[in-house]
Structure 1
Amino acid sequence: MTDLPDDAPAAVSPRLAAALAGARSRRERRGRRLRPVLWGILVAVLVQSLFADPAPGRTGAHLAVALVLAGCLLPLAAVASGVWKVPTPAACVGFCLLVSGFGLVLGVVQPGTMSVLPPSVAVLTAFLILSRRRAVMLGAVVVGGLVAAEAVTGSGGGVVGVISQVLFCVVLALMAISLRQAGDNEERAELLLAQLEDAREAEAEAAALAERTRIAQDLHDVLAQTLSGLAVQVQAARRMARRDRAGDDLRELLDRAGSLVKDGLGDARRAVGALRGSRTPSLDRLAELVERYRLDLELDVTLSVVGAPHTLPDDADLALYRGAQEALTNAVRYARGARVTVTLRYAPGTTVLTVADRRTGPAPAPSALFTGSGLGLTGMRERLGRAGGSADAGPTPDGWTVRMEIPA
């Protein structure tokens, strides 16, 4: 019978929107639980009116009773059945005036009936839906109508009857106020709880962002500046090589070292940007990564994509990209001269990235240009694990395979 006014702000969080939707749903359920009461009142008024004198009929006073009874019961039936909803103040006032007005007239044309019930329904509805001020004004009009009807008919028990009817309306008004206050308090508590959760989440995100910013600054100070210094040294070495007319092999090596330092600076900047919340590398750049290892590091590597690509969560996308980067770096260190294949397979419900190297001769010594801490595979597994995936690495009869899988 009641509905939640749509006065919520336009832009709210999903949690707050869910709380508002829950409050609206509870109000609608409370309104539906009041419908049996309306049906009970409707049946009581109808039965009492059918056996009163004059009874509803087709002529004279009987026809007047029938018309007034229909005017009283039809709005009750419409609201009780859900055909007529009264969520707005205007609709509520209209319903209350119709029901109470025809109910009071019914008490005049058919004295002795339960004519107090329709006005009491109007009072209950007013205090459930309208503002307190409007409900009091409408209740005063209804009570005035009860007094006037008693003055006209004089069949309601005199002063005692009028007082009892007024008290009955007052009790219903107080009950409606209590029900509405309890519902409003429950809704307010749920909305405040949703806002508190949003505030806690925002505070946690702000703290995480501050920590990432601090780490990004440390990385920038330590890594990016070190690489910048290395780039300067490599550039100086290249100028000296040209001045001293060094061999082509040395100059090519220095050019390649400069290119690697430049790429390292780009990776460092992207890592710092990711910590600060900027866009992170993704599988969209996997072909670029493979091509860089093929050209700059002379790795015999090819990329194969199987299946229709689908979008992955950001953390899963980044985990696969970093895993491929780590696997290719290990291939440069331990499998130089081998043929490396990177396979990205999109399957229903999962995405698999495999980096496999196959060699025909004995394994070469690890490249001295690429030394690591031995924790690369461990970090790969941890990153994939946080994203809900897994990573396996192990030897094959003719090489080494790294397999990464993400459910998606």
Structure 2
Amino acid sequence: MTATVHPLGAPHARVAENRPARPVPWVSSVLYAAVLFAGVYYDIVGNDPQHPARTTGFIAAVAALFGLDAAEAHWCRTAARHRSVPAAVLALRVGLFLTVAACDSAGLSRALFVLVPFTAYFAFGRRASLALGAGCAGALLGRYALTVDGWYADAGAISDLLMFGLGLVLAVSMAAVATGEQEARRSLESTVRELTSSHRQLREYAARVAELSTAQERNRLARDIHDSLGHHLTAIAVQLEKADAFRALDAAAADRAVADARWSAARALDEVRRSVRTLRAEADPFSLSTALTDLVHHTDTGRPRVTLTITGAETGYGADRLTALYRAAQEALTNARRHADARHVTVSLEYGPSAARLTVADDGRGLPGPAAAGGRAPGVGLRGLRERLQLLGGAVHMESEAGAGTTLTVTVPRTPGGGP
């Protein structure tokens, strides 16, 4: 909907594309038809026969009024009107009204002038409509004052003035009501369009959120499978290889390796159950200190030798943060066992007032070349660890040098939004 401010100025002068110029275009047509019928009927049955040329002019002027309304409606439907068009149409309409009045023998044509403020309301607004209505009433009053002696004592003249004034009031009131109804309808249509668009956007956003949530959950499950099952399966494989190698040489060592493999399998099953309970929001309380002690105890098989140091209390740290530190320890110990060929691994956990720090250092072969440069961690496990820590506002850093071992440092904030 577009707003047009005309020279006479009015905020109501709004013409939308593909809409008629007036909300009630039939009013003028009904009045034209009534004036035409009354004039022709009076010429036929009246006592004073009219000159044919006057009757023809009367009919032609009324027909021109019909044509003017049709042309105005066409202009409004096909293109935005220029500022001068409404004024020109109003002037032409008044001229035709005067022509009809001059040729009318019935005297009903003065009713046409109530259309002046009526049509002006839609083109120029309320103030212009009231001004033109007052002008029409003043013109009729001036006509009586100039042409009728003692008009103020003439009941017919006074009655005509009162009826004409009432017609003007009703015309302006009808225009105001029609304009308000049209604006309300357009506002409602605009609101419906906005709500439809908002609803469509909400559906798109909901679909996007569902997609992102699915991807996030898929990534989380992938990290859990790698960090938990991957670690335990690796430990089981190592222990079973050890049991097979020592079966003929050291039965006790072989039995211990099988026992450790069973422990890893049991732990893997426990963690699977714990993950399922987490998905169902039924997770059990998690103690990182206890879990790390248990992990180091079953990982320390003599080579590499694993020692654990814990300082501080884990009170105040959420299960997601403690689990992330546990996964980091699992990943570091698995890498040290499989790849580092280390003799000694130290695991240090420090609970601070604002952050917890886990450090896992080994004296193994280290990482050569670009893999160790800049603390960049290779492999799926450490990449997943970085993703997990980033979600918690934590950080992971690895230092490694060929022949000088590897140190992995992981920090997590104590509370969401806290810094490590």
Q: TM-score by structure 1 length?
A: 0.41
Q: TM-score by structure 2 length?
A: 0.40
Asked which structure has the greater CA Rg, the reply is: 2
